[in-house]
Amino acid sequence: MDTDTFADAITPWLAPTDQPLRAQLTLAIRQAIDSGQLAQDVRLPPERAMASALNVSRPTVSAVMDDLRSAGLVRSRQGSGTWVSGGSRASGPAVPFVELVQATGSIDLASATAPDASLLPAIRVETADLLGVEPANGLTPVGLRELRRRIAERASATSPTATDDVIVTSGAHQALALVLAAETTPGATVLLEETTYGGLVDMVHANGCHPVAIPRDTDGPIPDRLADLLRSHRPAAVVVVGSVHSPTGRVSSPQRCRDLARVLMDTEATVVIDETYAELEFEPSGHHLVTELGGRAIRTGSLSKALWTGLRTGWIITPPDHGRSLERRRWQQFDLGPSIPSQLYALAALDAIDDALKVRRSLLRERSAWVQQRIADRFPRWEAATVDGGLAVWIDAGVDGDELAERASRQGVSVLPGRACRVDQAATPFIRICFDRPIDVLDDAFTRLEVG
**What pLDDT tens digit does each residue of the chain (452 aa) get?**
888 888 888 876 776 555 678 888 887 888 788 766 788 788 999 999 999 988 899 999 999 998 888 777 888 888 788 999 865 443 334 678 888 887 666 899 999 999 899 888 888 889 999 999 999 999 999 999 999 999 999 999 999 999 999 999 999 999 999 999 999 988 888 999 999 999 999 999 998 888 989 999 999 999 999 999 998 888 999 999 999 999 999 999 999 999 999 999 989 999 999 999 999 999 988 778 999 987 889 999 999 999 999 999 999 999 877 778 888 888 888 999 999 999 999 999 999 999 999 999 999 999 999 999 999 999 999 999 999 999 999 999 999 999 999 999 999 999 999 999 999 888 899 999 999 999 999 999 999 999 86
Q: Are residues 416 and 370 in the same domain?
A: yes
Asked whether residue 90 is domain-assigned, the answer is no
Amino acid at 106: S
Question: What domain range is 436 assigned to?
Answer: 97-116+355-451
Q: Are residues 231 and 376 in the same domain?
A: no
At 18 the pLDDT is 59
Of the residues 318, 353, 388, the one at which a domain ends: 353
d(CA 288, CA 254): 7
| Cβ-contact 388, 251 below 8 angstroms | yes
Asked whether residue 303 is domain-assigned, the answer is yes
Asked whether residue 77 is domain-assigned, the answer is yes
Q: Are residues 253 and 331 in the same domain?
A: yes
Q: Are residues 64 and 163 in the same domain?
A: no
What backbone torsions phi and psi does residue 142 show, to the nearest 5 degrees?
Answer: -110, 0
Q: Are residues 224 and 174 in the same domain?
A: yes
Strands 413-414 and 216-217 come out as unpaired
The single-letter DSSP state of residue 429 is S
| Cβ-contact 405, 83 below 8 angstroms | no
Q: Are residues 349 and 360 in the same domain?
A: no
How far is CA 335 from each of CA 141, 298, 319, 328, rounded to the nearest angstrom? 8, 20, 21, 10
d(CA 247, CA 200): 12
Q: Are residues 141 and 256 in the same domain?
A: yes
Asked whether residue 121 is domain-assigned, the answer is no
Q: Are residues 302 and 180 in the same domain?
A: yes
d(CA 382, CA 384): 6
At 90 the pLDDT is 38
Q: Which region, left, alpha or beta, applies to residue 9 given φ > 0 means left and ψ of -120 to 50 means alpha?
A: alpha
At 269 the pLDDT is 96
CATH number at residue 430: 3.90.1150.10
Asked whether residue 262 is domain-assigned, the answer is yes
Asked whether residue 91 is domain-assigned, the answer is no
Q: Are residues 150 and 197 in the same domain?
A: yes
Measured from the Cβ of residue 118, the count of other Cβ atoms closer than 10 Å reads 9
Of the residues 353, 385, 403, the one at which a domain ends: 353
Q: Are residues 142 and 220 in the same domain?
A: yes
Could you give the number of structural domains in the chain? 3
CATH number at residue 15: 1.10.10.10
Asked whether residue 67 is domain-assigned, the answer is yes
Q: Are residues 9 and 105 in the same domain?
A: no
d(CA 450, CA 447): 5
At 256 the pLDDT is 96
CATH number at residue 276: 3.40.640.10
Asked whether residue 89 is domain-assigned, the answer is no
Q: Which residues contact 273 (CB under 8 A, 6 or more apart)?
A: 240, 241, 242, 289, 290, 293, 297, 298, 299, 300
Of the residues 353, 387, 405, the one at which a domain ends: 353
Q: Are residues 164 and 236 in the same domain?
A: yes
